[in-house]
Amino acid sequence: MKVLLINGSPHEKGCTYTALSECAKTLQEAGVETEFFWIGRKPMQGCVACGGCTRIGKCVFQDAVNDFTEQARQADGFIFGSPVYYSGMNGSLMSFMDRAFFSGPRGKSNPFAFKPAAAVVSARRAGTTSALDQMNKYFLHGQMPVIASRYWNMVHGNTPEEVMRDEEGLQIMRQLGRNMAWFLKLKAAGESAGIPLPEQEETRIATNFIR
């Protein structure tokens, strides 16, 4: 069992990483493998809505997004971390997730559906809950069970040292790791007991408000 921890911050070892590392600790204690994926700090191309992924099964821009979706096919769960920028997730991670969640399921297998996911955010002071709302939307759209902790998944700090002083935030992260591990074990037990993944209707109905 493996959980991918995606660091959406431009800081490889900053506050977001510190929060994700606390989740990784309790996942590992519960026997779950963890792997970090840092999206890096190069300019992140946004989705240009070209529809190319529908034809070729991956994003037309060959960068960290396609590397990630390939790795994601082997993962059993995900925790996405973002610093809060103007009360939302940071822009690079938004472009990254737009493209990963749009193109990934058009590839050879869906890397996300029915795998548990959670978002964690790091802020100096405010805007955490709106950033979390935004990130959780990807999981809810993609049929991913969203894992909860004992509060909303946030830490506060401008530096990793400050995050390490946010005792409540760190506890929330540790509990999130345990809850994710528990869910993964339940899912595996269900699979070995013969409980199949839910059936999907073959044709996806897509309407808008005028037709």
Residues that bind ligand FMN (CB under 6 A): 9, 11, 14-16, 83-87, 122-127, 157-158
Task: Identify which of residues 83 and 177 has a Cβ nearer to ligand FMN in the complex.
Answer: 83
As measured in angstroms, the least distance from the Cβ of 79 to ligand FMN is 14
Task: Identify which of residues 111 and 160 has a Cβ nearer to ligand FMN in the complex.
Answer: 160
As measured in angstroms, the least distance from the Cβ of 145 to ligand FMN is 26
Range 93-96 contact pairs with CB under 8 angstroms and sequence separation of 24 or more = 93/6, 93/8, 93/9, 93/39, 93/44, 94/46, 94/134, 95/44, 95/45, 95/46, 95/47, 96/8, 96/39, 96/44, 96/64, 96/65, 96/68
Task: Identify which of residues 52 and 127 has a Cβ nearer to ligand FMN in the complex.
Answer: 127
Taking CB atoms, the residue at the shortest distance from ligand FMN is 14
As measured in angstroms, the least distance from the Cβ of 31 to ligand FMN is 28
As measured in angstroms, the least distance from the Cβ of 196 to ligand FMN is 39
Task: Identify which of residues 28 and 158 has a Cβ nearer to ligand FMN in the complex.
Answer: 158
Closest CA to 122 of 9, 31, 33: 9
DSSP string, 39-72: --SS--PPP----HHHHHSS-SS-SHHHHHHHHH
